[in-house]
Copies of this chain bind each other. A is one copy, B any other.
Amino acid sequence: IPLSRTTRCTCIKISDRPVNPRSLEKLEVIPASQSCPRVEIIATMKKNEEKRCLNPESKTIKNLLKAISKNRSRRSQTQKEA
């Protein structure tokens, strides 16, 4: 039982700042639920494990998901330029 989310949303403020895919430790997508009526996207950064909430409708998140999946299949070749 996720105690932290039984009562309300996890995100307080939502950032529209772009996130560098290379600095990203992980991305969590939490669907809308009874405890929070909106999708929440939480980016955890490598540095200090800093967490940042992203706007699910922003281009930032679309580009980020694209970058992550691209990086996956071509990682060994493009790691230097990426």
Can you name 25 A-B residue pairings with CB atoms under 8 Å? A2-B25, A21-B31, A24-B31, A26-B29, A26-B30, A27-B29, A27-B30, A27-B31, A28-B28, A29-B65, A29-B68, A31-B68, A31-B72, A32-B71, A32-B72, A37-B75, A38-B72, A38-B75, A39-B68, A39-B72, A56-B69, A56-B72, A57-B69, A57-B73, A65-B65
Cβ of A7 within 8 Å of any chain B Cβ, yes or no, is no
Smallest distance from the beta carbon of A79 to chain B beta carbons, Å? 9
A76 at the interface (CB under 8 A from B): yes
Contact A75 B28 (CB under 8 A): no
A65 and B29 CA atoms in complex are apart in Å by 9
